[in-house]
Structure 1
Amino acid sequence: MKAWVHDETGDPNVLQLRDRPTPSPGRNELLIRNRAIGLNPVDWKFILWGHDAWEWPHIPGVDGAGVVEAVGEGVCHIEAGARIAYHNDLLKPGSFAEYTVIPARSAIPLPNALPFAAAAAIPCPWLTAHQAIEKVNLEPGSHVLVTGASGAVGGALLQLAHCQGWIVHAVGSSPQFDRLQRLGAATVTDYHQEGWKDDWARRAKLQPLQAVFDMVSGTHAASLAPLLTANGHLVCIQDRQETAPLPAFSTTISLHEVGLNAMHLHACDRQWGRLVAAGSKIAQGISKGVFDPQIIETAQFSDLPNALSRLKAGPNPGNRVVAI
Structure 2
Amino acid sequence: MRGTEPPSHHRAWTWQSGRDPHGLALAERPVAPPRPGEVLVRNAVIGLNPVDWKVLGSDTWRPGKVPGCDGAGIVIAAGADVPGAWLGQRVAYHTWLGGRGSFAETTPVAARALLPVPAALDLEVAASVPCPGLTAWLALGKLPAQPGILLVAGAGGGVGTYLVPLAIRAGWKVTAQCHPRHHDRLVAQGAAVLPWNAELPRAAYGAAIDLRGPEAAAGLFPHLRANGHLVCIQGRVGGWGGEAFARCISLHEVALGALHVHGDARDWHALRRAAAGIFDDLVTARLAPEPALARDFECLPAHLQALKDRDFSGKALIRV
TM-score class normalised by the smaller sequence: over 0.9
Return the match for 1:95 from 96, 102, 107: 102
Q: 1:104-143: per-residue Cα shift (whole Å, max 9, x none)?
A: 1001111011111100111110111111000112334x11
Q: CA deviation at 1:253?
A: 1.6
Return the match for 1:37 from 25, 34, 46: 46
Residue 73 of structure 1: aligned partner: 80
SS at match of 1:65: strand
> 1:215 & 1:34 partners in 2: Cα distance?
29
Does residue 82 in structure 1 map to residue 89 in structure 2?
yes
User: Displaced runs of 4+ in structure 1, greater than 4 A?
Assistant: none
> 1:182 & 1:318 partners in 2: Cα distance?
17
Q: Is the 8 A contact 2:50 2:308 kept in 1?
A: yes
Question: Larger deviation: 247-256 or 144-153?
Answer: 247-256
% same residue: 40
Residue 258 of structure 1: aligned partner: 254
Q: Is the 8 A contact 2:37 2:110 kept in 1?
A: yes
Partner amino acid for 1:134? G
> 1:184 & 1:21 partners in 2: Cα distance?
50
Question: Larger deviation: 235-244 or 304-313?
Answer: 235-244
Does residue 276 in structure 1 map to residue 272 in structure 2?
yes
Long gaps (5+) in structure 2? 1-9
Cα 1:109/1:213, change in 2 over 3 Å:
same
Aligned residues: 311
Q: CA deviation at 1:55?
A: 4.1
Q: CA deviation at 1:230?
A: 2.1
> 1:247 & 1:50 partners in 2: Cα distance?
35
Partner amino acid for 2:218? A
Return the match for 1:170 from 168, 176, 185: 176
Residue 23 of structure 1: aligned partner: 32
SS at match of 1:20: strand
Superposition pairs of residues 191-206 of structure 1, within 5 angstroms = 191-193=196-198, 196-197=199-200, 200-201=201-202, 204=203
Q: CA deviation at 1:281?
A: 1.0
Q: 1:178-223: per-residue Cα shift (whole Å, max 9, x none)?
A: 02222341x1111234xx13xx22xx5xxx4211001122222222
SS at match of 1:132: helix
Question: Larger deviation: 265-274 or 246-255?
Answer: 246-255
Q: Is the 8 A contact 2:207 2:229 kept in 1?
A: yes
Residue 56 of structure 1: aligned partner: 63
Residue 22 of structure 2: aligned partner: 13
Long gaps (5+) in structure 1? none
SS at match of 1:33: strand
Partner amino acid for 2:229? H
SS at match of 2:282: helix
SS at match of 2:219: helix
SS at match of 2:220: helix
Cα 1:311/1:9, change in 2 over 3 Å:
same
Q: Is the 8 A contact 1:155 1:183 kept in 2?
A: no
Cα 1:277/1:99, change in 2 over 3 Å:
same
Cα 1:78/1:251, change in 2 over 3 Å:
farther
Residue 156 of structure 1: aligned partner: 162
Return the match for 2:12 from 3, 9, 12: 3
Return the match for 1:111 from 109, 114, 118: 118
> 1:5 & 1:44 partners in 2: Cα distance?
13
Q: CA deviation at 1:10?
A: 2.8
Cα 1:2/1:225, change in 2 over 3 Å:
same
Q: Is the 8 A contact 1:110 1:284 kept in 2?
A: no
Q: CA deviation at 1:173?
A: 0.8
SS at match of 1:252: coil
Return the match for 2:137 from 116, 130, 137: 130
CA root-mean-square deviation:
1.5
